[in-house]
Amino acid sequence: MGGGLARHFGALGDAGADALAAMINDAIDRKAARAGRPRGASDEDAPLAGHVLAMVFEKNSTRTRVSFDIAMRQLGGSVLVLDSGSSQLGRGETIADTARVLSRMVDAIMLRTDDHAKLEEMAAHASVPVINGLTDLSHPCQILADLLTVIEHGKALPGLELAWFGDGNNVLHSILEAAGLFKFNVRVATPAGYEPDPAFVALARAGGAQVTLTQDARAAARGADVIVTDTWISMGQADAADKKAAMQPYQVNAALMAEAKPDALFLHCLPAHVGEEVSAEVFEGPHSVVFDEAENRIHAQKSVLLWCLGRL
Ligand code: CP
Ligand code: NVA
């Protein structure tokens, strides 16, 4: 993604499978090495001392904002936050000019926005790395944390059977991209009309992943290693009653979980709408690793930052 010499992280493919595997390994090592230290204390080597990350938010965030902030502190650097409402972006200053200004002032930029083209534009005009902190199209940082979580819980990626339920959204798109890179299989159970972007299905298949698109939730769950869902209504989408009604059969509940392998993991990027896409029983139950997954945003993103800044 983008021009210039900067290493952008707009998609998982910008790094590729080998670099992503190295990032996951480094995240595991760094996480273990700093066990017991206060969360805001830096790692022993403070590899990004003196570096500043600007975080630009055109959408709400809890995990992405906090995890990038803590990640930079642990790497020895710091962050600043620009919200569109309180910066000149909200008054119409262009992404291109914002990219060029920030590139003179900080070492890396994270952008959370709606239209993925805005992220591409930021990367095209920035001379420092630009990181995708979620767009309407994809959420690669989330999926790196998800892969880390799956591996930490003892599951190997090649041949893994992952099943997705509900809306064919940005998070699923990055899962599909990861599937092609790491050769795992994805069963996608959605109502008709809510399938993922076919370009991401094609990307996964081109990489050697098997992708099954179905409207049969039970069949998708059968024998799965990992069960994943997300909100039925993503940020920026209308809270439509007809969409929620169509999604109802795709709720991850105890009956659906019972179809999966006995040691299956339940993942959700959060925020969750318990009682909608997931039942309380599953969300709070023994398969759920959603808070490990949330914490892993810190550890995975430290690797993203190190990779972007040429330290990995
Ligand atoms: N999962 C995730 O990206 O959470 P936030 O929207 O809180 O950043
Ligand atoms: N699909 C959700 C993910 C939130 C982290 C959204 O885009 O709102």
Q: Distance from the CA of 136 to the center of ligand 2, in angstroms?
A: 8
- pLDDT tens column, 167-226: 999 999 999 999 999 999 999 999 999 999 999 999 999 999 999 999 999 999 999 999
Residue 1 lies in a domain: no
Q: Are residues 256 and 168 in the same domain?
A: yes
Asked if 99 and 172 sit in the same domain, the reply is no
pLDDT at 246: 98
- CB 67, CB 75: distance < 8 Å: no
Tell me the residue ranges of DSSP E strands in 215-303.
226-229, 265-268
Show Cβ contacts of residue 167 under 8 Å, excluding neighbours closer than 6 positions.
Answer: 190, 194, 230, 231, 232, 233, 234, 243, 247
pTM confidence score: 0.98
Q: Are residues 181 and 58 in the same domain?
A: no
Q: Is 210 found in the same domain as 236?
A: yes
Task: Decide if 6 is inside a domain.
Answer: no
Give me the number of domains the chain comprises: 2
Cβ of 234 less than 6 Å from ligand 2: yes
* Residues of the domain holding 97: 12-139+297-308
Does residue 82 sit in the same domain as residue 166? no
Give me the pLDDT at residue 155, please. 98
**Residue 255 falls within a domain, yes or no?**
yes
Neighbours of 139 (CB within 10 A): 26
50 and 170 in one domain?
no
- Give the model confidence (pLDDT) of 106-144 as tens digits: 999 999 999 999 999 999 999 999 999 999 999 999 999
- Please indicate, yes or no, if residue 147 is contained in any of the structural domains: no
pLDDT digits (tens, 9 = 90+) for 65-76: 999 999 999 999
Would 213 be classed as within a structural domain?
A: yes
**Ligand 1 atom with the shortest distance to the CA of 62:** 7
Is 169 found in the same domain as 96?
A: no
Q: Residue of the nearest CA to atom 6 in ligand 2?
A: 234
Determine whether 268 is an active site residue.
Answer: no
Separation of 253 CA from ligand 1 center, angstroms? 22
User: Is 113 touching ligand 2 by the criterion CB < 6 Å?
Assistant: no
Same domain, 17 and 88: yes
Interior angle at CA 236, CA 235 and CA 238, nearest 5: 105
Give the rounded distance of the alpha carbon of 219 from its chain centre: 26
What is the pLDDT confidence band of residue 1, given thresholds at 50, 70 and 90?
confident
Residue with tokens 């090649």: 158
* 308 to 103, 127, 281: CA distances (angstroms): 14, 12, 39
Q: How far apart are CA 62 and CA 142, in angstroms?
A: 13
Same domain, 100 and 164: no
Question: 263 and 184: one domain?
Answer: yes
Q: Are residues 112 and 223 in the same domain?
A: no
Same domain, 85 and 26: yes
* CA distance linking residue 178 with residue 267, whole number of Å: 15
Domain containing residue 38: CATH number: 3.40.50.1370
What single-letter amino acid sits at 86?
S
- What is d(CA 312, CA 309) in angstroms, rounded to the nearest whole number? 8
Residue 144 lies in a domain: no
Q: Which of 7, 51, 65, 139 is catalytic?
A: 139
